[in-house]
Amino acid sequence: MNIYFIENENPSRNSSGGIMTYLVNLSKYLISKNIKTTLLGNGIFSEAQGESPFVEYKSISKQHDISNTKYLFYLYKRSIKSTIKKNSIIHVQRPDMCVPLLAYANKNNCLLVCSLHGIHNLAVHDKKSFIHNVIYYILQTISFIFVKNFIAVDNNTKQYYSKKYPWAKKKIIVIPIGVDTVLFSPLDKRIVRNKYQLSESEKILIFIGRLEKEKNIPFILNSFKKVKEEIVSAKLIIVGDGNDKALLRKYVSESKIKDVVFFGEINNTDIPNILNCADVFVFASLYEGSPNVIKEAIACNIPVISTDVGDVKNVLDGVDNCYIVKRDEKDFSKKILLVLNSKKTNIREKVLKYNCNNVSNMTLELYKSLSTEN
């Protein structure tokens, strides 16, 4: 069995992106089962960053950080598709990127599987032009007509697309995103804080994610400002990079919000360390699928305060000191204060069912069933 992952990423970047983490965990599991994995990404792989988590890496462009639109264009090139062997499984991470591969997959007896990492067309609608939206919607609709199998990372995503494309409802199954519970585990807070020059006495809030509109970071900043009025030692650490970085820095300055630290994008292997510095993890996205960082925080025994988005409500159900909060800054800050002033409890065992090996095995079983049907 050969698995080809289609995603606009480079394994040497080792970023904290959710989709890349998903692919890395899945690839490692498949390799342990002697299954060959290949990533069709972008840019030249740098061996200086360590061994690739994929058996093979094929670049569709020598340029780094190309746009998804350009990546989609490159997928139409015949030379790229010819690198995919016959009778393989092609696992795509966005509906629109299935379209350039449809004819090739059909001709060469390849199975096309598409993961739905949340409701992506909402992000396109918010950030792209009208023409871009129309083109994306057409490509998405074509994929739902012709692709036989979709993996939704949460029930909300499945319900959304099932309503939008009712004829495709039976094509969509739910497989959550798993967490590496070996990598993400509780660490000595004193040691990890010392590594980042953080005081043991500080009350630390952490956000990790892309600095983009849909992450709703101004909401977190305003809520933190209210927390700061009650707890002088509170500090907010924002980890990640994105298009809104400069705007957010300006917002912090103009709003005179003290003790906000922008860490920028960090190496994926450093995320467990930075998470373990936290007293609470905060999350307020406008839309998501299955944000893995929520499970990663809980695996590190860090309480979570979040808005009701994606599958977060299901993940936090029954977990002590974790709260789903309305999009109200006053309520959000109150829950943060409640957690910061409460006794810590052991919550890690609540996410062990999402262990990445268990979840990756569900995906492998899907691959096998599809191969049998084919």
Ordered by where they begin, the domains of the chain are 2-178+355-373 (3.40.50.2000), 189-354 (3.40.50.2000)
Quote the percentage of the chain above a pLDDT of 90: 67
Does this model's pTM top 0.95? My answer is no
Q: What is the mean pLDDT of the chain?
A: 90
pLDDT at 4 over 70: yes
Segment among 10-19, 87-96, 300-309, 363-372 with least mean pLDDT: 10-19
Contact indicator for 113, 369 with CB cutoff of 8 Å? no
Residue 183, C-beta contacts closer than 8 angstroms, at least 6 positions apart: 269, 272
Secondary structure of residue 290 in the 3-state scheme: coil
Per-residue pLDDT band at 374 (split at 50, 70, 90): low
pLDDT at 95 over 60: yes
Dihedrals phi, psi of 41, to nearest 5 degrees = -120, -145
Q: What is the pLDDT of residues 224-240, one digit of tens each?
A: 999 999 999 999 999 99
Secondary structure of residue 217 in the 3-state scheme: helix
Per-residue pLDDT band at 370 (split at 50, 70, 90): confident
Residue type at 245?
K
Return d(Cα 302, Cα 204) in angstroms, integer: 11
Q: Kindly state the tokens that stand for 294.
A: 């929520």
**Dihedral angle over CA of 345, 348, 350, 356, nearest 10:** 170
Secondary structure of residue 88 in the 3-state scheme: coil
Return d(Cα 254, Cα 270) in angstroms, integer: 31
Return d(Cα 282, Cα 297) in angstroms, integer: 10
* Confidence (pLDDT) at 12: 77
Q: CB-hemisphere CA count at 13 Å for 272?
A: 13
Q: What is the pLDDT of residues 268-324, one digit of tens each?
A: 889 999 999 999 999 999 988 888 999 999 999 999 999 999 889 999 999 999 999
pLDDT at 16 over 60: no
Contact indicator for 83, 121 with CB cutoff of 8 Å? no
- Residue 159's closest CA among 312, 289, 326? 289
Return d(Cα 289, Cα 93) in angstroms, integer: 12
What is residue 36's DSSP assignment? Answer: E
C-alpha torsion sign, points 99, 105, 150, 14: negative
Per-residue pLDDT band at 50 (split at 50, 70, 90): low
* Confidence (pLDDT) at 49: 58
Secondary structure of residue 115 in the 3-state scheme: strand
Q: CB-hemisphere CA count at 13 Å for 37?
A: 25
pLDDT at 13 over 80: no
For residue 326, how far is the Cα from the chain centroid?
22
Per-residue pLDDT band at 140 (split at 50, 70, 90): very high
Over residues 45-68, the mean pLDDT reads 79
Q: Which ranges constitute the DSSP H helices of 90-201?
A: 102-107, 120-127, 130-146, 155-164, 189-195
* Confidence (pLDDT) at 118: 86
Return d(Cα 38, Cα 302) in angstroms, integer: 34
Return d(Cα 201, Cα 287) in angstroms, integer: 34
More confident residue, 139 or 130: 139
In which residue are the tokens 């990533």 written? 39
β-pair type (111-116, 260-264): unpaired
Segment among 37-41, 120-124, 192-196, 367-371 with least mean pLDDT: 120-124
Quick one: 43 exposed, middle or buried, by C-beta within 10 A (0-12, 13-18, 19+)?
buried
* Confidence (pLDDT) at 269: 84
pLDDT at 364 over 70: yes
Alpha-carbon radius of gyration of the chain: 21
